[in-house]
């Protein structure tokens, strides 16, 4: 019986993530982006974001978390965003953006991580977004 409960909990957890990623894609499209959810069913070391978007000449890699009051993004997940943008997107860095997206109830908070932090190896061990935070990325402006 314990195994079934654990499997059900994992399914609910995955469904929450899938839901938030799908909602983000729709929100991005509503704001003029071309966006797609990357269907990776398990955490891996591959440098793939949860959602990829493009608006004009800019490309955005999003890591998405669904939570109630706060969301944590481990350094490894932040590094994967930069690796994806660095290795697979042939544009200048000013056109590539790594964005953390926290879906906190009905509220979205976005935090862009700067290239200078990646270049200087100064990424945080984990980034945190609280429900009361404002974020530093505006979907409407794309920055």
Query: 61 and 77 in contact (C-beta within 8 Å)?
Result: no
**Which tokens hold the place of 39?**
């269907």
Q: Annotated catalytic residue: which of 41, 44, 57, 143? A: 41
Is 57 a catalytic site residue? Answer: no
> What's the chain's Rg over C-alpha atoms?
15
Neighbours of 96 (CB within 10 A): 20
Q: Are strands 58-67 and 51-55 parallel, antiparallel or unpaired?
A: antiparallel
Please state, in angstroms and rounded to a whole number, the distance separating the CA atoms of residues 28 and 54. Answer: 9
Phi, psi of 48 (to 5 degrees): -120, 130
Q: DSSP secondary-structure letter at 94?
A: G
- Which residues does the annotation mark as catalytic? 41
């Amino acid at each position: 019986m314990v195994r079934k409960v654990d499997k059900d909990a994992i399914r609910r957890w995955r469904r929450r993530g899938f839901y938030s990623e799908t909602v983000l894609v729709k929100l991005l499209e509503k704001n003029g982006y071309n966006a797609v959810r990357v269907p990776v069913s398990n955490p891996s070391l591959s440098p793939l974001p949860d959602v990829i978007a493009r608006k004009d000449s800019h490309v955005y890699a999003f890591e998405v978390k669904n939570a109630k009051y706060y969301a944590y993004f481990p350094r490894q997940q932040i590094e994967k965003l930069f690796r994806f943008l660095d290795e697979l997107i042939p544009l200048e860095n000013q056109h590539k953006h790594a964005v953390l997206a926290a879906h906190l109830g009905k509220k979205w908070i976005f935090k862009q991580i700067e290239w200078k932090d990646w270049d200087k190896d100064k990424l945080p061990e984990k980034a945190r977004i609280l429900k009361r935070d404002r974020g530093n990325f505006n979907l409407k402006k794309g920055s």
